[in-house]
Amino acid sequence: MSFEVVPALDLRGGKCVRLYQGDFSRETVFSDNPLEMAQHWVGLGAARLHVVDLDGAAHGEPANLSIIRRIVAAVSCPVQVGGGIRDIGAVRRLLDYGVVRVIVGTAAVKEPALVEELCRSFAEAIVVGIDAQEGIVAVKGWRELTGVKAVDLGLRMVELGVPRLIYTDISRDGTLSEPNFAALEQLLAAVPVPVIAAGGIVTVEHLQRLAAMGCEGAIVGRALYAGNLDLPGAIRALRGTRAGP
């Protein structure tokens, strides 16, 4: 499988937005029409889309389901969705819509038994998102620090059968700085499952370094929306690069 460059669509109030370090008070609206934005990225060559329901993450249950359903129906590539998914019913609903991967975050810390059940029931469709601030996991829309180390959570999730992880460095997210390569290296060395990187990715060189480290792919948001990174150019530069170790 080739290294994937995955555009992010963060949904809040029916719009496509980006936050700065996960801060809901520091929001930039990039589109009033997430469906058009999804089709835009697919038209530029995206092989997968990463959709986050920010309202759902904040309130503990999916809040933009109608938009998500329309996005999945309108695009030709696989879609993965996270944000506020904390029960098996929400997972089933999204999979019924045609979502290929469902991402759980808060439940991984608060309800590990649920994650184990999800892995038994839905196998490769389940992804755990590890969102960390200085190596410590944050949940509930990144507003609550847990005291759990990111690597420890990753190892625990692998024991429960989780087949894939997404690691987001909160302090880098939306900052147009660079990924937290050191934290990613630590996680990659610890877990035997694919890891997707997110947070702070700006340049093709960042993507190439992540691929060389062994990441399966990278989720890119603000750098694409602000024009720092050209999606077709990034895809061409990474074409043929093997994902993972």
Which residue stretches of the chain have pLDDT < 50?
Answer: none
Residues 130, 131, 134: CA angle, nearest 5 degrees: 115
Sequence-distant (6+) residues with CB within 8 A of 12 are 24, 27, 54, 55
Residues identified as active-site: 10, 131
What is the set of domains in the chain, with CATH numbers? 4-238 (3.20.20.70)
| Strand-pair partners of 132 | 137, 169
Residue 107, both tokens = 């439940």
pTM to 2 decimal places: 0.93
- In 3D, which of 170, 162, 171 has the Cα closest to residue 109? 162
pLDDT at 20: 62
Closest by CA to 184, choosing from 218, 138, 161, 215, is 215
User: What is the phi-psi region of residue 51: left when phi exceeds 0, alpha when psi lies from -120 to 50, beta otherwise?
Assistant: beta
